[in-house]
Amino acid sequence: MRQFFKFLLASCLGTLIGLFVLFFVVIGGVARIASSASKASPITSNSVLHLKLNQAIPELMDNVEPSSFGLNNSSVLGLHDITAAIKQATKDDDIKGIFLEPELAVAGFTSLATIRQALADFKASGKFIYAYAPYYTQGAYYLASVSDEVVLAPLGIVDWRGFSATYPFFKDVLDRVGVDYEVFFAGRYKSASEPYRRNDMSAESKAQTRAFLDEMYRLMLNDVSASRNVSVEKLDELADTYAGINPEAALTGGLVDKTIYREALLAEMREALGLAVNKEISFVKLNDYFEARVTPPAGGGDRIALLMAEGVIVDGKGDIAQIGDKTYIDLIEDISKDDRVKAVVLRVNSPGGSAMASDHIWQALMDLKATGKPLVVSMGSVAASGGYYIAAPADRIFAEPSTITGSIGVVSAIPQFQELLKEKIGVHFDSVKTGPFSAGINPVFDMSEGEKALLRARTDQMYQTFLKRVSTGRNISVADVDSVAQGRVWVGTTALQKGLVDELGGLEKAIENAATLAKITSYKTTTYPKPQNPWERLFNEIMNPQETIQKAMLKDQLGTMYPYYNYLQEMADGQGMQMRLPFMIAQ
């Protein structure tokens, strides 16, 4: 009995200590929020908006894995929050210009193009944009090239070299540890299975990658040429010779306007603002400006639901930066039942994922359409494979010129551990079965020809289903869909020619079209899912501390290799057949 009370007391004491710690975490968080709010500088006249854009840019605010534990993290603005802030600054008399320091720009080319267009509109209003960096990544330079002055540090580098795509292959390392993959795929160009069955890219994979890289490169050359007043041919030559690695060559070649130190550029900026030499420039951080000046539309009246589908499509509820079918089905059902919502815009930025989850979301969207509400799709940087599958039911599909889409195909990859278990570890298995398939698809036994035939047939069946979904949504024959499918990836401009999308344009254009289809002129947009506030993020971190800490440690230890690990983890977590792009590092 004494031992019972001892454990009871220890348990109660542990609970009290936990609550005590939680209390102080919350109080500390409140203090930090209050402190940060009080420290935020007021926006005064003659201010300059300071843009660094040196962290991941999601579609939806805070839709990224937390990098640390606590409440003191500022919100990660989404792509459309950033463009809304720039748009507001364009007409804000207190903002005289933008100081752009985009040394790192962690976003896809399409997202960067969207921000760049907002910057171009800002510049067209007559306000200045100055850009400075000691090192411009190619994406950062693409953004900066729209500026009135692109300034490089005297010993700096402009990483202007053209596009590449690098794919990892795991067959050799899997062979070495004794793991084999039985791979089934439908579509000649469906290269998502190649990392498990090859050590290099197939001819088909190289051909499609070359096609979309060449088109994206053409788009970038044209944009930079127009802004910098340098010919496309000259820019191509500068990339081929990697001239930007030499600051003098970058200057004489027209990539930059000046090679001076940051302080010298600030002196120029003071002059442009009419400030005295020793006067501090009133810089406004992007997050502070967004919170202070970008206001959500007033409530009431008709609404257009903006459903943000970003990340890998997974079975179940999903996590941050994932599209969980259960979560999205619930959201779609809520939108369907909301009489205030007159139309829906589905924003897709996804490489695909689970075939089953994609189909569940597709059915929920078909049910939504049955209510009479128009459904319009806006594609972001990528809307391919499963991402295209969920876009197929739309009344109209908008893509950006550089959107990566298509990849209509299916792949299944089943690991086999016989050699690892028998030869490497010395573990053997045996079984008794009542029928040829009684043990299921079991990775500890060699897959029989009958099991292979079943999986091959199921993969082909799923591919035919994919073709039919697209055929129904696009109102074209299955044969015509198959001719542009086969797992092939297309860029937005080509996808328009192939009939996979209806029009080139961004999110605003898609929203306007949804309003037209719904026959409404006065409306507000409501975003789904709702971004998590700091309290919700903290609560989730406290409830899952091991997962949060583990991810943070892996990111820190693996560094640039973390995306490879994350891709393998996603593939291992995938259930059944997959509709997704292969992992690649595009630069």
Cα–Cα distance for residue pair 439/271, rounded to 1 Å: 78
Which amino acid is present at 17?
I
At residue 132, the 3 state secondary structure works out as strand
Residue carrying the six token digits 């020619």: 497
Burial class (CB in 10 A: 0-12, 13-18, 19+), 89: buried
| 99 beta partners | 50, 130
Q: Which residues are catalytic?
A: 190, 385
Residue carrying the six token digits 């994922």: 353
Helix axes 109-124, 203-228, angle to 10 degrees: 10
Cα–Cα distance for residue pair 182/198, rounded to 1 Å: 12
Cα–Cα distance for residue pair 227/230, rounded to 1 Å: 8
Helical spans, DSSP H, in 129-274: 138-144, 171-177, 194-197, 203-228, 232-240, 247-252, 262-273
Longest dimension (CA), the chain: 90
At residue 136, the 3 state secondary structure works out as strand
Helix then strand then coil, in percent of the chain rounded to 5, is 50, 20, 35
Cα–Cα separations (whole angstroms), residue 495 to 64, 302, 482:
29, 33, 14
Cα–Cα distance for residue pair 476/222, rounded to 1 Å: 33
